[in-house]
Amino acid sequence: MLRLLLFALGALTFAGCSLNSPASSVYTILPNSAASLDTSAPLHAGTIKLAPTRTLPSLGSKALRYLRPHGESGEYLYSRWSDAPALLIERNFVASLQNRKLYAAILPPGSAAGATHLLESDLNAFEHRFREEGGSEGYIDMTYRLIDPKTKQTLSSKRFQIVAAAASGDARGGVDALSRATRELSRQSTEWLAHYLQEKP
């Protein structure tokens, strides 16, 4: 009887804690939509395949991460992304490539088809970063490498470090800043690829 009473009290306590816990917020980053339908021919008649992004283990989850001065890092308890950061970036980047019509086709990482170019990427940071002097920002550190699949040679590479100021020092401020940083990363990396294709088709 005593064991049953203790179990019932424990269940009620757990239920009370669950009811008092705030609901988690889930965020995503929507790509910029094309201003108008572009019916012109693509800049490059070939195709590009995206390799799976290599990233740090801490960035492999859907957690919304922050970094405070002196190296203190953590995750917002009741806020998370709809997908891992690498997938959010990839979705925005693919939309940007499609809007600019750089290639005749963009192949996903799992595609068995061959491609003219292979794009590798390393994601080293995707976080709400607090500055020692005050304020905070969304920060992304991404490196892209354009590879010739036949020769395995690197045709071009570029590291992008994108910073977008956050309006507030909470999870929502971090989400807004990282959303803007992600779209800016897509814009800059698309321009980098376009410049390469224009110079060396």
Give the model confidence (pLDDT) of 140-191 as tens digits. 999 999 999 999 999 999 999 999 999 999 999 999 999 999 999 999 999 9
SS3 content of the chain, % helix, strand, coil (to 5): 35, 35, 30
Q: What is the pLDDT of residues 102-149, one digit of tens each?
A: 999 999 888 888 899 999 999 999 999 999 999 999 999 999 999 999
Model pLDDT, residue 7: 43
Going by C-alpha positions, the residue among 92, 52, 76 that lies closest to residue 130 is 76
> Average pLDDT in the 66-70 region?
94
pLDDT digits (tens, 9 = 90+) for 19-63: 566 788 999 999 887 654 556 778 888 999 999 999 999 999 999
